Amino acid sequence: MRTKISIVISIVLIGLMSTFSTNLYSQKLIDKIVATVGQNEILYSDIENQYMQYLMQGYTNEGNSIRCQIFEEILFAKLLLNQAQLDSVEISDEMVEAEMDRRLQYFISQIGSQEKLEDYYNKSILAIKSDLRSTIHEQMLSEQVKNQITSGVTITPSEVRHFFNDIPADSVPLINSEYKYSHIIVMPEILPEEKEYARQKLVGIRKRIMDGESFASMARMYSEDPGSSIKGGELGDFGRGVMYPAFEAVAFSLQKGEISEIVETEAGFHIIQLIKRKGDFINVRHILIMTKVSPTSMQMAKDELDSVYNLIEQGTLTFEEAALRYSIDDSKFNGGVALNPQTGGAVFTAESIDKELFFKLDKMNVGEITPPTIFQKERNKKAYRIVRLDKRTKPHKATLETDYDKIQNIALEDKKAKAIGDWIIDKTNKTFIHISDESLNKCKFTYKWDQDSDR
């Protein structure tokens, strides 16, 4: 039962905007105080806003049972906040502002623009920030206390074995196939004349705009950014730290309607027009002309990697030596071992590998190396790679011998959950907590929150 507290807390902490939502639903609520933790009150709207967000994520309407779980998570969050207040935990204004800007940028990117965000909440961006600031401050205080509770929790090999042996035989987790592989990546060189061709093409487009043609129309016709070209090059509202640094430096320096000189980034060459500036956010149009790789450069890259492949196959060069000498990927410093961007580790599941590579790996023998093949790198860039399958496991039930690290992590999280549970039991006995709403007092909680309750 205690594991529920860690599952639903994410709903409470991820529900970033619920405290200032003013949609039609929340406006109809007759709000009231339903509980008090220390000096911190919990409102009926706090629970209902979280419940509505739960439904908006696609979950089914499970009525009071989910409301009760959400309520218990809010009680936990307020208990953490109360402890932070007692301990005089401090979070700097700069940290709060940075986190607030990060969250606002996420919401603006999801909803489309700052205006749409303001329309949705029927508030200006300044009012939204004002409402969000105290909420984020409280959440960061609570999270800091929660981290302090578990920071000293460690686990020994003996505890890991004991934890695993206590798992019922029919509940031992199934581990899907996992893969480890290494790669050597060679990028075709973009020749100076190819870059100059792209730049001159954009010079001509800019001249036509400066002579009176519509920036938006030219973006629709010529921009090679598929996401924005159909919208006349418009990118939507964004703040600093989102685009390429060179792009941002120019975009934020423009006046309304001004058109930039040509800007070079990793994506290619841009011209930018400022549409508007509002607070910390701007909206711009841009036209991108990407630098193309010629067939000659592609063939040269393939020939180079063919030679490397042959040297490895002949035993003249080890895979690790070849990776360090020829690969353009950071993995070259680690023998070419590919790292899973989702976990930071070297283990991949079938779902975390691109399909084309997965079908190759699934048919290979461990230690086998593929000849050079072309693949799509980030930002639509093409490259060549050779890949070595280092390890592949079959689906199996977890064992200590083959899956110790996974079992250790599960056991550690279980121990942390118990530490949090013990902390809750200790603090609820020492903290004033009163649930004033009769229906919520009937919830089947994991912990006894209101010590004066006769439940």
Evaluate if residue 304 carries a pLDDT over 70: yes
- pLDDT digit string (tens) for 14-39? 444 444 443 444 445 568 999 999 99
Give the domain-ending residue among 268, 289, 310.
289
pLDDT band at 319 (very low <50, low <70, confident <90, very high): very high
User: Residue 383 falls within a domain, yes or no?
Assistant: yes
Q: Are residues 260 and 347 in the same domain?
A: no
Give the pLDDT mean for 135-150.
94
Structure tokens at 412: 């550690």
Give the domain-ending residue among 247, 269, 289.
289
Give the domain-ending residue among 247, 271, 289.
289
Residue 427 contacts residue 87 (beta carbons within 8 Å): no
pTM above 0.95, yes or no: no
- Whole-angstrom CA distances from 196 to 193, 199, 259, 272, 291 are 5, 5, 21, 19, 9
Evaluate if residue 342 carries a pLDDT over 70: yes
Residue type, 375: F
DSSP 216: H
User: Residue 404 falls within a domain, yes or no?
Assistant: no
User: Residue 403 falls within a domain, yes or no?
Assistant: no
Residue 282 contacts residue 276 (beta carbons within 8 Å): yes
Q: Are residues 105 and 144 in the same domain?
A: yes
- Tell me what pLDDT residue 292 has: 86
Give the pLDDT mean for 385-401.
94
Q: Are residues 244 and 342 in the same domain?
A: no
Q: Are residues 146 and 43 in the same domain?
A: yes
pLDDT band at 450 (very low <50, low <70, confident <90, very high): confident
- Tell me what pLDDT residue 117 has: 81
Evaluate if residue 268 carries a pLDDT over 80: yes
- Tell me what pLDDT residue 62 has: 66
- pLDDT digit string (tens) for 64-78? 788 999 999 999 999
- Domain carrying residue 196: 192-289
Q: Are residues 83 and 109 in the same domain?
A: yes
> Could you give the number of structural domains in the chain?
3
User: Residue 358 falls within a domain, yes or no?
Assistant: yes
Residue 117 contacts residue 128 (beta carbons within 8 Å): yes
Evaluate if residue 281 carries a pLDDT over 50: yes
Q: Are residues 313 and 279 in the same domain?
A: no
Evaluate if residue 412 carries a pLDDT over 80: yes
Q: Are residues 252 and 136 in the same domain?
A: no
Evaluate if residue 9 carries a pLDDT over 60: no
The enclosing domain of 390 has a CATH number of 3.10.50.40
What is the chain's mean pLDDT, rounded?
88
Q: Are residues 28 and 119 in the same domain?
A: yes
User: Residue 46 falls within a domain, yes or no?
Assistant: yes
Q: Are residues 201 and 185 in the same domain?
A: no
Residues, the chain: 455
Q: Are residues 40 and 109 in the same domain?
A: yes
User: Residue 448 falls within a domain, yes or no?
Assistant: no
Helix, strand, or coil (residue 373): strand
Q: Are residues 138 and 28 in the same domain?
A: yes
- Tell me what pLDDT residue 7 has: 36
User: Residue 375 falls within a domain, yes or no?
Assistant: yes
pLDDT band at 134 (very low <50, low <70, confident <90, very high): confident
DSSP 348: E
Q: Are residues 12 and 95 in the same domain?
A: yes
Give the pLDDT mean for 356-377.
93
**Residue 57: Cβ within 10 Å count:** 10
